[in-house]
Amino acid sequence: MKFYSDFAAHRSRQITVDVLAVAFMAAWIWLGAFVYSLVLGLSDFGVQMEEAGAGFRETMTDVGENLGDVPFIGGGISAPFDSASSAGATLESAGQAQQDAVQNLATGLGVGIAVLPVLMILVFWLVPRLRFARRAGQAKALVSGGAGVDLLALRALSNQRLPVLAGVDADPMGAWRRGDPEVMRSLAALELRSTGVRLT
């Protein structure tokens, strides 16, 4: 495969577009990571809630267990603390659920912001670049393999637009049939130029 044109102006445009495409993709990826970390910061409240709930649950459980050891009345006194311990567990679960929700939101936003634009850039930049590289590689292989100028000229007759062909000769097909060497070389050069390969 041949990734860049032999012609300076075309090659400069290709390199400029490549650099811009990579820079834009990097910028979108950075923005996605920034939004992810920004949204993930909202989970701090959930962490605090979970820690407060866990601490409250442990304290109430310890108090309930200590009071439960009191003879005769321990079971009755520990019951409210056991209920309070359950409330702490609920608060702890709510804190964990809030963290999970924020994590999912941060991941969704971060990936959405980064991936969708990068996919669009790949579709509109990478696909045409790969198509160019494939065509240029095939054309270079034709030239390197000693393919005749007449074959390249025939490809030009089938691939190039009519106004472009008319600029080479008033009757390019007739010139090709006659084997006109100047027209054949011009058509071959035209076909190769469109693929970014210079006729040597």
Q: How confident is the model over 155-189, as pLDDT tens digits?
A: 888 888 888 888 888 888 888 888 888 888 888 88
Q: Are 35 and 113 in contact (CB under 8 A)?
A: yes
Q: What percent of the chain has pLDDT over 90?
A: 28
Q: Are 21 and 121 in contact (CB under 8 A)?
A: yes
Distance from chain centroid for Cα 188:
38
Q: Are 15 and 4 in contact (CB under 8 A)?
A: yes
Region 102-110: mean pLDDT is 92
Residue 83 has pLDDT above 60, yes or no: yes
Q: Compute the distance between CA of residue 12 and CA of residue 10 in angstroms, rounded to an integer.
A: 5
Region 100-121: mean pLDDT is 92
- For residue 122, give the DSSP letter: I
> What pTM was computed for the model?
0.69
Q: Are 51 and 40 in contact (CB under 8 A)?
A: no
Q: Compute the distance between CA of residue 40 and CA of residue 17 in angstroms, rounded to an integer.
A: 34
Q: Compute the distance between CA of residue 118 and CA of residue 45 in angstroms, rounded to an integer.
A: 32
- By mean pLDDT, which of 1-5, 6-10, 126-130, 142-146 is the weakest? 142-146
DSSP SS3 for 50: helix
Position 48 scores a pLDDT of 84
Residue 17 has pLDDT above 60, yes or no: yes
List the alpha helices (DSSP H) in the chain: 8-40, 44-68, 74-121, 127-144, 149-159, 162-168, 172-178, 181-194
The token duo for 130 is 């790969």
